[in-house]
Amino acid sequence: MADVDAVAFATRISHACQASRFVRSYDVTIQDNLLVKVRADLLPGAFIDVFYNAQTGKTSFALIESNVRVYGADNTTRWHIHPFENPNSHQPSEPVSFETFLQTIASWLERKG
């Protein structure tokens, strides 16, 4: 993803948030046209944090509930997920798009009721 500039990445995240019925609100911050930080509020006490560095391609998505990561995906060293069952563990994965991450979260929210 390092070939994607910060504005294009932020736009993609914004469009996915707007299309999601679970994202109540979101805030996008772009620093130095290089770093993107997004917070997407889902339900009371739950939100998604997104980080992207356009220079290095470092990307991370984390679902936070009650101030604890309960699921995540990032490409620190290589792409991996932090599964719901054990969010401190690393399971190797193919690259994860924000849209795919959001679909996983939507399924989780539907199961939660």
What's the pLDDT tens digit per position in 4-41?
Answer: 899 999 999 999 999 999 999 999 999 999 999 999 99
The token pair at 10 is 């932020």
Q: Provide the sign of the torsion angle of the four alpha carbons 3, 57, 35, 86, taken in this order.
A: positive
Backbone φ and ψ of 48, nearest 5°: -110, 130
The confidence score (pLDDT) of residue 83 equals 96
**Mean pLDDT to the nearest integer, 39-55:** 94
The confidence score (pLDDT) of residue 59 equals 97
pLDDT reading at 47 higher than 70? yes
Model pTM score: 0.93
pLDDT reading at 102 higher than 70? yes
| Helix-then-strand count for the chain, H and E | 2, 7
Residues in the chain: 113
pLDDT reading at 45 higher than 90? no
Q: How far is CA 68 from the centre of its chain?
A: 14
